[in-house]
Amino acid sequence: MALLSGRTRVASFVGMLLLGVSPLVAAPRDLDVKAVFLFRFAQFVEWPADAFPTPDAPIVIAVVGEDALAAALDRVVAGERLQGRPFEVRRYHRPDQVERCHVLYIAPSNAGDVAQVLVRLRGQPTLTVGDAPEFARTGGMIRFFSHQGRLRLEVNNTAARGAGLALSSKLLRIAEIVR
């Protein structure tokens, strides 16, 4: 295992605990880790009141182009609730199918469609997540990236605020902030 600075080790450990990923067990597959992160992100976002049509409407996590991740999400959110709301996982195979949702993951296979999806969601309270190298710098909100064998986060809080979302300081503390 590569040696990390004390600050990096502490930040990684705290981040994993905050997001509910155990740092003490062997790392599960990448898709399972991403599924847990997508689920946990919902706990660290405050949506505007009009983001939900009814008080018991589900929190919708959608995936564009990655059926294996959607299947992992199905397992992660099964039976879970947040503030009384159940979770629902939706799958989209093409960007033009994307409808209103609360968290949207854009798979690497659809990296060329990021701009189209972001335009489609403009003004909607949707937390957008992706892996493309310039994802957060071009208007996406959270980018997954790997650094020294660990999954890390890059956050564009300006984009999140522009969509009416308030990201928790707990999430922002463990991420690299881009402008």
Which residue ranges make up each domain of the chain? Answer: 6-177
Nearest Cα to 105, choosing from 117, 116, 122, 96? 117
pTM for this entry: 0.82
pLDDT at 13 over 80: no
- pLDDT value at 5 more than 80: no
Mean pLDDT of the chain: 85
pLDDT of residue 28 exceeding 60:
no
Helix axis angle, 67-77 to 30-41, nearest 10°: 60
94-149 pLDDT, tens digit per residue, is 888 898 899 999 988 887 888 889 999 988 999 999 999 999 999 999 999 999 98
Decide if 118 contacts 104 (C-beta within 8 A).
Answer: no
pLDDT recorded at residue 158: 96
- pLDDT of 95: 85
- Residue 78 DSSP one-character state: T
Averaged pLDDT, 64-93: 93
Q: What are phi and psi of 82, to 5 degrees?
A: -135, 120
Q: Say what the pLDDT of residue 125 is.
A: 96
Concatenated DSSP letters of 100-129: --SEEEE-GGGGGGHHHHHHHHTTS--EEE
6-177: which CATH topology?
Rossmann fold (3.40.50)
